[in-house]
Amino acid sequence: MVIYLPSTKAFYKPNVKLRKGDSLIDSAGKKIGYVVSDSIDIMPLYDKSKNLYQMRFAGYITANDVRPVTIPENILQQIINSNSKNLNYNTFKKFINDFGLRDYKDEMDKRYPQNKSYVLWYNSYVTSNSVFRLQLIFDKEKLVAIFHSQKLIKTTFKDLQLKKTYLLWTKNSNDKELATFAKTYRKIYEVPN
């Protein structure tokens, strides 16, 4: 996560910690939260302007200091559950823009050329066994599948656990087609060369 903090040269001294109650703001100056513990280490990246330093920080995030609307999986699940009969690109367009999903092509697209994928990567400093945090796959305008690294709590669709990720199948109720799609994914991403 990249956040911005009020400018002070003290942040550039080694072993400086944020203090409980310090504000966290985004690049537009909007307050996005505050520090709830005195144990977060900061790692300066560079002097962005006279008033802000951009920094990465590492520490623990507690459930009560994260707004649910900032977690993509929460919003994705709400969209799926409230639009289960209308899962098309327009339904997800705002979600794709808000969370910065990127157009993506890979070996799956060679096997399924009619599909178009949008992915959300993990930040480089987050380690995960999964390839993507989220991958939305559309056949023309219709959502057919979502690969996701974290279990979704409840949806009306089949959610198959693979070795490194989960596959939420929204295309149809054809188990054979789902199995073929999952097998293709496994061959590309889960079987060692």
pLDDT score of 46 more than 60: no
Supply the mean pLDDT for the chain. Answer: 74
Residue 103: enclosing H or E segment and its boundaries? Answer: strand 102-104
Average pLDDT score over residue span 103-124: 85
Question: 67 versus 63: which is more confidently predicted?
Answer: 67
pLDDT score at 60? 44
User: Phi and psi at residue 3, in whole multiples of 5°?
Assistant: -130, 170
Average pLDDT score over residue span 160-173: 84
Per-residue pLDDT band for 49 (boundaries 50, 70, 90) equals very low
The candidate with the shortest Cα–Cα distance to 19, out of 39, 2, 4, is 39
pLDDT score at 93? 95
pLDDT score at 171? 85
Token pair of 101 as six digits: 């999903």
pLDDT score at 17? 57
| Beta partners for residue 42, in sequence order | 57
User: Which CA distances in Å does 72 have to 25, 66, 89, 99, 161?
Assistant: 19, 12, 16, 7, 19
Per-residue pLDDT band for 7 (boundaries 50, 70, 90) equals very low
Percent of the chain with pLDDT over 90: 18
pLDDT score of 33 more than 80: no
Question: 6 versus 167: which is more confidently predicted?
Answer: 167
pLDDT score at 130? 62
Contact between 142 and 136 (Cβ < 8 Å) = no
pLDDT score of 83 more than 70: yes
pLDDT score of 30 more than 80: no
The pTM of the full predicted model, rounded to 2 decimals, is 0.63
Question: 158 versus 33: which is more confidently predicted?
Answer: 158
pLDDT per residue over 120-150, tens digit each?
A: 887 655 555 666 889 999 998 999 999 888 8
pLDDT score at 36? 65
Token pair of 121 as six digits: 């990567």
Average pLDDT score over residue span 60-72: 58
Q: CA-to-CA distance for 162 and 181, rounded, in angstroms?
A: 12
